């Protein structure tokens, strides 16, 4: 049963499961490089921000009917949109950079993924 929201609330839950993965946790960490311009006294008088990227972390259960089959260093199509906190908020490519898969005799098979979204990189998806 979906959650019943009463009163003033925020967004609740995760909108979409990833293909082959029942998502339990999803996070987006935004970052960029910074270069400072200093005056002769060492005070910051200007800034440049560049190399924007988003680190995406996904945790969940491996789907019984169609298990997750992504490969390291391959493009990952996200089922949930990246929030628009980048200067360039459209386009780009998300690359799968790390994967951890675990099994337990009294639990479901779990998977943890880390990917990096590069807003200015475009690749042809298979």
pLDDT at 31: 94
* CB < 8 Å & 24+ apart, contacts of 100-105: 101/62
pLDDT digits (tens, 9 = 90+) for 6-21: 888 788 888 888 889 9
Question: What are the sequence ranges of the domains in the chain?
Answer: 21-118
The answer to whether the predicted template modeling score (pTM) of the entire model surpasses 0.75 is yes
Alpha helices for 3-125 (secondary structure H)? none
> Is the distance from CB of 50 to CB of 86 less than 8 angstroms?
no
């Amino acid at each position: 049963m979906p959650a019943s929201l009463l009163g003033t609330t925020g967004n609740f839950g995760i909108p979409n499961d990833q293909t082959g993965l029942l998502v339990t946790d999803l996070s987006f960490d935004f970052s960029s490089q910074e270069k400072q311009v200093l005056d002769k006294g060492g005070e910051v008088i200007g800034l440049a921000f560049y190399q924007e990227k988003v680190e995406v972390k996904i945790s969940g259960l491996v789907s019984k009917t169609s298990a997750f089959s992504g490969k390291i260093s391959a493009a990952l199509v996200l089922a949930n949109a990246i929030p628009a906190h980048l200067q360039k908020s459209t386009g780009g490519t998300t690359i799968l950079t790390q994967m951890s898969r675990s099994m337990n005799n009294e639990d479901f098979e779990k998977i943890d993924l880390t990917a990096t979204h590069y807003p200015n990189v475009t690749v042809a998806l298979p």
